[in-house]
Structure 1
């Protein structure tokens, strides 16, 4: 039987860094906290970025 607690613990966090390069210091601090937490909890994380190309 699948143990949901173990599965939850085995999943790597996905951190979306879209918008990190903005001047929004609040957003930058939130992302830094998420990265710090992921490193502390798991040791690894997955970065996600959304890029819009307008032509």
Structure 2
């Protein structure tokens, strides 16, 4: 997950990181910067849960 408006780390760096990790999911988030706004908490929790479930399946 990477904010497309992140002023500290360009989104291409997040995408490169995801491509470097087997089974990682690149999840760009429009309107998000370097912080995690409260309205996205459930989206982030869902993404963490999906990732954890993939790890258990392996």
| Pairwise TM-score range, normalised by the shorter structure | 0.3 to 0.5
Answer 1 or 2: which has greater strand percent: 1
Instruction: Give TM-score, length-normalised by structure 2.
Output: 0.38
Q: Identify which of structures 1 and 2 has the higher relative contact order when contacts are C-alpha pairs closer than 8 Å and 6+ apart.
A: 1
